[in-house]
Chain A
Amino acid sequence: QQQVKQSPQSLIVQKGGISIINCAYENTAFDYFPWYQQFPGKGPALLIAIRPDVSEKKEGRFTISFNKSAKQFSLHIMDSQPGDSATYFCAASRTGYGQNFVFGPGTRLSVLP
């Protein structure tokens, strides 16, 4: 119940295309869903996050779509750029002691010039 599933494992997109990464969770107690971006040799950094009381959140070219009934959420990267090439992790957490985050296995995105 603590798992977060993520797909695809890797993704290749042409410059200017749309990148879509999907995640699914089982624990309905989760109430915070962030996406992290990681470049080689660096630690993950928060990209965008959403709470379950909204169905979509947009920040620039990055959008999270959230489907509470299906227990799924996805990251859409519009007009993908080579600089977006990185590994993306979805995560989930629940409010409480320590508020531990459960991470998906990651998606390696390559945007071709």
Chain B
Amino acid sequence: NAGVTQTPKFRVLKTGQSMTLLCAQDMNHEYMYWYRQDPGMGLRLIHYSVGEGTTAKGEVPDGYNVSRLKKQNFLLGLESAAPSQTSVYFCASRPLSSYNSPLHFGNGTRLTVT
């Protein structure tokens, strides 16, 4: 049982390049989330999904797109990377069953945009 797995762990992009971050969970969770973590700002929600084929915007969605074609996978895309997107990105999932079920986080992807 791997939990939440994020790939890649590290990535360096040049301004304007594109990339996709992959999140996979093996816990059959309905909800999945993408957060970014910046110093002094905590975790801010980018996009989330309440089920396969559904996505919704979070607090800071601009410059990002997401897709959830399979229940276990949640992809985060950057179409044209900007230095402001330098951050650590965390994927999380949780089950639908209980309102107080905790978020399960992956170990993050550290992205640097030069």
Contacts and interface: CB of A to CB of B under 8 A. Distances in A.
Interface of A: 2, 4, 6, 9, 31-32, 34, 36, 41-46, 49, 51, 89, 95, 97-101, 103-106
Contact of B43 (A2, A9, A49, A89): A89
Contact of A100 (B42, B45, B100): B45
B102 A104 contact: no
B105 A98 contact: no
Interface string B89-104: 0101010000110110
Given A89-B42, A98-B31, A43 B56 contact: no
B94 to A, nearest CB: 8
B41 interface: yes
A48 to B, nearest CB: 10
Given A9-B40, A43-B90, A105-B40, A99 B45 contact: no
Given A4-B42, A104-B42, 12 more contacts: A9-B40, A34-B102, A36-B103, A43-B105, A44-B103, A44-B105, A89-B42, A97-B50, A98-B56, A100-B58, A103-B42, A103-B44
Given A44-B90, A100-B45, A100-B58, A32 B107 contact: no
A4 B42 CA distance: 10
B42 A99 contact: no
A41 B107 contact: yes
Nearest to B99: A95
B48 to A, nearest CB: 5
Given A44-B90, A98-B31, A98-B48, A106 B99 contact: no
Nearest to A97: B50
A59 B92 CA distance: 24
